[in-house]
Amino acid sequence: MAAADLKVATFCVVTGASKGLGQALAINLAETVGDGSLIVVTARGEGGLNDTKKKIEATAPHVEVKIVAGDIAGPYSDELHKRICAVPSPQSFKHAIIVHNAASLGDVSKLTSELSDPKVITDYYQMNVSSVLCLNSQFFSATGSIVRRTVVNITSLCALQPFKSWALYCGGKAARDMIFKVLAQEQPDVRVLSYAPGPLQTEMVEYAAQNTADPDIRAFFVGLSKNRTALDPDESAKKMVKLLLDNKFENGAHVDFYD
């Protein structure tokens, strides 16, 4: 498949863009897309989004940045999704991209047999699966007149391999991978990628090191935290952008940073 030219006017949405990988993805995409592009950054915290906006404006002044703060799985999520995906003058864009990065680790302090609170389980999948489906649907509705569209699902090795005491996270990532594989089959003209960014030096590593119930998995994350051997989010973000530029991945594929 031919390389993709991302240096065109692009409407781009990045969720969970206030820090970490989401912020790095938003910055790297902004630096890559062409003049007249609009990057919509969304997350719960407006402070972090303002930081992301300032960093984009410093490195990619040719791109407009729009902040939409809110909980994509909250009680007013339908209206929030519409604001996130509101495309001004769709005819002015040649490409539309959405990066589903927002996610949570969930309760890793219990083994699977100990997960007994239905509200905790339902809330987890509402945030990490249901809201993603609904936001994606709104994105498709809003960008229907834009010829080229790309959907990126930020996934994990946990979508393919079980991590003891991480049942919620593994289940959510596996579900998302399959959902986007189905999307790729249904929409062959849309480029769909599930990208696993590798272990990142973020708050998630610290949380996992402190809270994971399984001793082996916990020890792995303690090592990452202590030795600072996890990946820099910017390095992984650059790899994802290169994957999009090269455009060689099978549609709907799960591609890991280390592949």
- Domain extent for 111: 10-200+233-254
Residue at 44 is within a domain: yes
Residue at 177 is within a domain: yes
What are the tens digits of pLDDT across the range 6-29? Answer: 899 999 999 999 999 999 999 999
- The average confidence (pLDDT) of the chain is 96
Residue at 174 is within a domain: yes
What are the tens digits of pLDDT across the range 140-170? Answer: 999 999 999 999 999 999 999 999 999 999 9
Q: What is the DSSP letter of 163?
A: -
For residue 54, which of 75, 33, 70, 39 has the smallest C-alpha distance?
39
Distance of CA 257 to the CA centre of its chain: 14
- Assess whether pLDDT exceeds 90 at residue 41: yes
Residue 30 phi, psi (nearest 5):
-60, -40
Residues 89-93, mean pLDDT to the nearest whole number: 95
Residue at 211 is within a domain: no
Residue at 259 is within a domain: no
Residue at 123 is within a domain: yes
pLDDT at 2: 60
d(CA 211, CA 141): 40
Banded pLDDT at 1 (limits 50, 70, 90): low
pLDDT at 226: 86
pLDDT at 228: 84
- Assess whether pLDDT exceeds 70 at residue 39: yes
d(CA 142, CA 85): 6
What are the tens digits of pLDDT across the range 100-116? Answer: 999 999 999 999 999 99
pLDDT at 227: 86
Banded pLDDT at 251 (limits 50, 70, 90): very high
Contacts of 89 (CB under 8 A, 6+ apart): none
Stated as kind and residue range, the H or E segment containing 234 is helix 233-246
Residue at 227 is within a domain: no
Q: Quickly list DSSP for the chain.
A: -PPP---S-EEEEEESTTSHHHHHHHHHHHHHS-TT-EEEEEES-HHHHHHHHHHHHHH-TTSEEEEEES-TTSTTHHHHHHHHT--SSGGG-SEEEEEE--------SS-GGG---HHHHHHHHIIIIIHHHHHHHHHHHHTTT-SEEEEEEE--GGGTS--TT-HHHHHHHHHHHHHHHHHHHH-TTSEEEEEE--SBSSHHHHHHHHH-SSHHHHHHHHHHHHHT-SBPHHHHHHHHHHHHHH--SPTTEEEETT-
Residue at 195 is within a domain: yes
What are the tens digits of pLDDT across the range 183-193? Answer: 999 999 999 99
pLDDT at 3: 62
- Give me the number of domains the chain comprises: 1
- Assess whether pLDDT exceeds 70 at residue 208: yes
CATH code for the domain of 78 = 3.40.50.720
